[in-house]
Chains A and B, each alone.
Chain A
Amino acid sequence: MPPRRKDASENGLARGTFLLLLAPALILLFLSLYPFLSGLYTSLTDQKLYAAGGTRFVGFANFVRLAGTPLFWTALGNTLSYTALVVAIQLPLGLAFALLLDVPGRLQSFFRSVLVLPLLIPPVVAGLMWKTMMQPQQGVLNYLLSFLGIDPQPWLANPATAMISVVLIDTWLFTPLAAIILLAGLQSISVELTEAARVDGASPWQIVRRIKLPLLGPYVLLVALFRVSDALKSLEIIYATTRGGPLNATRTLHVMAYEEAYRWSNLGRAMAIVFVLWALCYAISGTLLALWQRQEARRYAR
């Protein structure tokens, strides 16, 4: 086969046309740079949300103060443990679901449509749904667990179990997204490859372990990227269930920032918290994205 000529159609649109088509969407999105930068400035002031006027520039005072606030460190710890738990639970569970739904069968398409359902429910509503199911005395969850011989749990009401409870709600809601991405990965693996291994006498389990899992690398990273970046800034489930309580057990940075702004009207301090969180999000998500890009590049180079 002769090498394909790199003509205009191969490289696609001309530069001018490209920018012209892209401009309206980019301009609209980059409008958000203004509030972003003004927020950055606000984090250096003592601005109040409701009181008008009298804003002073205070330099890094908000950040310094934050470092000396024990609750900030608690919230940072909560944010990180929420994120770690979310990934540690949802990645293997999503993988199990994906492997299950990858098995060809008659019911498969039904189960795949079931998979999408939680993603279509607003997180706040999911939080409220689970809150009623997690009621210590009357909730159906404790009732169901009693059949397995598990004692009633206080779930959201107890500081010791509150964090794992909100993570469970998150798990119900977003494991399907992990499964959908991993399922796409499994289906990108060529049938010839697994077929050849099967003919050579490999068991299904061996095929999964030796062939499928190694090829799933970029998709696993993608799941980590999406779940980590959403978990770091999660607010809606927590807001619908515990509002950061009991005893700050579920107070993440995003929840803390919201309360600082709306409960205490300290906009400057709230923005300082938000930008610490922002830096955290970009550092972690950026690292995962870079790792993913490198894997993708290697795959295309092959």
Chain B
Amino acid sequence: MPADLSLRALRGHALLALGYVAFAFFVLFPIVWIFLMSLKSFGDIIAYPPRFLFTPTLENYVEVLFGGEAERAAGEIPDLLRFLMNSVIISGGAVLVSIVLAVPAAYALARRRTGGARNIQFTFLSFRFAPELSIILPLYVIYTRTGLYDTYAGMILVHQLITLPLSVLILASFFRDIPHEIEEAARVDGANVLRILVSIVVPIARPGIASAMIIAFIFSWNNLIFGLVLAGGATRPVTMGILQSMTFDQIKWGLMAASAMVSALPGMVAAILFQRQITRGLTLGAVK
């Protein structure tokens, strides 16, 4: 191999390595930094220049999860465990309702290739375009009149605006990848659509269903604005709880960092366990 060619290859490799380092730094630094901050004592947090080496402590986590009742009542520390519980109920409930409705809907869209089906699919997509306030501000008025304000049922219902279109779009692309010859045999044997859906399509598409559920859960979990408008003291989700107790008080960085880590936990755990499904689901949900 000529020397200049290998030199060029070497330069290419160096450039690539540099790219990877820059990329990893860009994505990871904020997460790592806040994680480190969550393990720092107050003195280490306010130190300047910032400390990269310190004695880790769990005091921020202990305080934010089990801290003083008085501060909690005054709203100075987030009632994190309760907010987490609320988020689990709301996002979990929303995902369950969505998946039951989205599986048949997505199957219908995947198995009918007329212009009508395409238009309906775009209708689902278009729910992403509308500013949330155009629906939830009027919904606030309706909810306060009907008693749905600050209830789990009300929150689960409104979260369908996120979870349902997302689930339908992701599932439709998964279902489309299933060759329909598999279903033909069952159809010839006289099975109806529901039967085919339940005993053939759903088992085959299980990874797809899992990925739709995980992604819908994360997007619902990450949402702030529904909680901001439609949740009160009883159903306050974790995003709103953290915002409320943290924004005005600049000094409680340690508590903020610990709550941030805890609130991002479901996403992080999902990322570790289901990395491939999440990437695939996000891709399909966005692209197809």
Contact = CB atoms under 8 A, between A and B. Distances in A.
Given A113-B271, A133-B33, A181-B286, A121 B264 contact: yes
Given A28-B101, A116-B271, A125-B239, A132 B34 contact: yes
Nearest to B34: A129
Most buried by A among B134, B161, B246, B253: B134
Contact of B264 (A12, A125, A133, A177): A125
Interface in B193-249: 193, 197, 218, 221-225, 228, 238-240, 242-243, 246-247
B138 A36 contact: yes
Contacts of B129: 229, 281-282, 285-286
Contacts of A118: 27, 30-31
Interface string B243-285: 1001100100100110110011001101100010011001100
Interface string B21-35: 001101110110110
B134 A117 contact: no
Contact of B130 (A125, A240, A261, A278): A278
Interface stretch (A65-73, A83-91, A135-143): A135-143
B287 A115 contact: no
A110 to B, nearest CB: 9
Nearest to B192: A17
Contacts of A101: 23
Contact of B278 (A28, A97, A116, A285): A116
A107 B19 CA distance: 13
A132 B228 CA distance: 22
A97 B242 CA distance: 31
Contacts of B109: 22
A103 B265 CA distance: 30
Interface in A18-50: 18-19, 21-22, 24-26, 28-29, 32, 34-36, 38-39, 42, 47, 49
Interface residues of B, number: 95
Interface in B29-75: 30-31, 33-34, 37, 46, 48-50
A53 B23 CA distance: 56
Nearest to A205: B12
B81 interface: no
B60 to A, nearest CB: 13
Contacts of A113: 271, 275, 279
Given A22-B104, A270-B137, A204 B164 contact: no
A interface, size bucket:
35 or more
A244 interface: no
Contacts of A204: 12
Given A29-B165, A133-B33, A125 B287 contact: no
Contacts of B10: none
Interface in A85-122: 96-97, 100-101, 103, 105, 107, 111-122
Contacts of B131: 232-233, 254, 257, 274, 277-278, 281
Interface in B132-174: 132-142, 160-161, 164-165, 168
Contacts of B117: 18
Interface of A: 9, 11-13, 17-19, 21-22, 24-26, 28-29, 32, 34-36, 38-39, 42, 47, 49, 96-97, 100-101, 103, 105, 107, 111-126, 128-130, 132-133, 135, 137-138, 140, 143, 172, 176-177, 180-181, 183-185, 204, 219, 222, 226, 229-230, 232-233, 235-236, 239-240, 243, 254, 257-258, 261, 267, 270-271, 274-275, 277-278, 281-282, 285-286, 289
Given A24-B104, A49-B140, 18 more contacts: A21-B104, A26-B105, A28-B164, A32-B135, A35-B139, A115-B279, A122-B224, A122-B239, A128-B242, A128-B247, A140-B33, A180-B286, A240-B243, A257-B133, A258-B228, A271-B137, A271-B138, A285-B129
